[in-house]
């Protein structure tokens, strides 16, 4: 492969395909702002995706996709790491130490694999199912709180240290849904007493200029969430699996239902 001089590729234009309510899109917008990078933004109608988007992300057909010098990058966490690799001298998102990087990646994966879907499940359910989902969210938050209190992130203002890093961006862009869902469902998710460090971190994160520039106004989010909740509860009789699949990525327009979960025998390999 021909090696392009770093400066030339850094100068190539950046275009982000996203959706205004998508926390995955916000991650990329925030990272670009933190790195001081100019970019063009294209809002996608998730109910009617553009040919350009489908061409750039044929495998998943989702937002966000970042196109840099004509080359497409899908998947938010992959995009964020790309930004670090392509602009190594500017405000790194990942720490330098290999073990710290592994920790940041681990908790990013936890955020997307466990916490996010658990929050989505709260939003998509009612009654006893919702109570179980809330317990799951609390268990997940407790694990993060423990790391802030005595573990990997002890004593830090942000997960990245004095400055925000990859994990702050990943956890932070999504955590604002917690307050929105609390308002819409009437359920308490992030208790300042139960999770004081997480609460303090989120408050500091949301106060940052670049974050305030990125996250939509809360009344827009509330309106959006109320609409989705209304639709999901209307579907509640039609199958919880479909509803929670749609809610797990609350910012996506109603997606096709995920395939029904496999037989519930766990194979632990």
Smallest distance from the beta carbon of 251 to another protein, in angstroms? Answer: 19
State the Cα–Cα distance between residues 135 and 194, nearest whole angstrom. 13
User: Which of 202, 97, 183, 184 minimizes the C-alpha distance to 144?
Assistant: 202
DSSP letters of 74-106? ESHHHHHHHHHHHSTTSS-SS-SSHHHHHHHHH
Where does this chain touch another protein (CB under 8 A) — which range of 99-107, 158-166, 210-218, 219-227?
A: 99-107
Which of the residues 129 through 188 are near another protein (CB under 8 A)?
A: 143
Task: Choose which of 11, 98, 207, 217 interacts with another protein (CB under 8 A).
Answer: 98
18's enclosing H/E stretch is strand 14-18
Percent helix, strand, coil in the chain, to 5, is 55, 5, 35
For the window 37-76, what string marks contact with another protein as x by the rule CB under 8 A?
A: ----------------------x--------x--x-xxx-
User: Smallest distance from the beta carbon of 52 to another protein, in angstroms?
Assistant: 19
Name the one range near another protein by CB under 8 A: 25-33, 101-109, 167-175, 244-252. Answer: 101-109
Q: Binder to another protein among 79, 93, 242, 243 (CB under 8 A)?
A: 79
Tell me the residue ranges of DSSP E strands in 49-178: 65-68, 71-74
In the structure encoding, which two tokens stand for residue 203, read together?
Answer: 């408050």
- The burial class, CB within 10 Å (0-12 / 13-18 / 19+), for 2 is exposed
The residue from 3, 11, 127, 219 that contacts another protein (CB under 8 A) is 3
Q: Is 118 in the site for another protein (CB under 8 A)?
A: no
Q: Is 8 in the site for another protein (CB under 8 A)?
A: no
* Smallest distance, another protein to C-beta of residue 4, A: 8
Residue 67 tokens, joined: 């196109």
Residues 227-266 that bind another protein (CB under 8 A): 259-260, 262-263, 265
When asked if residue 78 is in the footprint of another protein (CB under 8 A), the reply is: yes
> Of 28-36, 96-104, 158-166, 214-222, which segment contacts another protein by CB under 8 A?
96-104
Cβ-contact 177, 250 below 8 angstroms: yes
DSSP assigned state of 154? T
* Least Å from the CB of residue 216 to another protein: 27
Dihedral (C-alpha) 8, 37, 46, 129: value to the nearest 10 degrees? Answer: 130
Q: How far is the CB of 95 from another protein (least distance, A)?
A: 11
Q: Whose structure tokens read 């933190």?
A: 34
For another protein, the binding residues (CB under 8 A) are 1, 3, 9, 59, 68, 71, 73-75, 78-79, 81-82, 85-86, 98-99, 101-102, 105-106, 109-110, 143, 259-260, 262-263, 265, 267-269
């Amino acid at each position: 492969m021909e090696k392009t001089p770093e400066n030339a590729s850094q100068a190539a234009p950046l275009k982000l395909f996203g959706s205004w309510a998508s926390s995955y899109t916000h991650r990329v917008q925030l990272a670009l702002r933190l790195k001081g990078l100019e970019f063009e933004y294209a809002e996608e109608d998730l109910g009617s995706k553009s040919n350009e988007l489908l061409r750039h992300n044929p495998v998943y057909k989702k937002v966000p996709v970042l196109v840099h010098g004509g080359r497409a990058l899908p998947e938010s966490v992959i995009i964020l790491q790309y930004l670090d690799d392509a602009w190594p001298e500017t405000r790194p998102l990942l720490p330098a130490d290999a073990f710290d990087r592994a920790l940041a990646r681990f908790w990013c994966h936890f955020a997307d694999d466990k916490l996010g879907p658990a929050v989505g499940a709260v939003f998509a359910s009612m009654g006893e199912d919702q109570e179980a989902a809330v317990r799951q969210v609390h268990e997940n938050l407790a694990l993060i709180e423990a790391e802030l209190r005595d573990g990997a992130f002890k004593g830090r203002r942000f997960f990245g240290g004095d400055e925000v890093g990859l994990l702050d961006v990943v956890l932070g862009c999504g955590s604002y849904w917690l307050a929105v869902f609390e308002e819409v469902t009437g359920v308490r998710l992030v208790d300042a007493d139960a999770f004081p460090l997480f609460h303090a971190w989120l408050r500091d994160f949301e106060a940052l200029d670049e974050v305030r520039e990125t996250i939509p106004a809360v009344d827009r989010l509330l309106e959006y969430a109320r609409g989705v909740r209304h639709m999901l509860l209307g579907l509640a009789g039609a199958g919880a699996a479909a509803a929670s699949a749609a809610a797990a990525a609350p910012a996506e327009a109603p997606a096709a239902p995920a395939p029904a979960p496999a037989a519930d025998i766990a194979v632990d390999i």
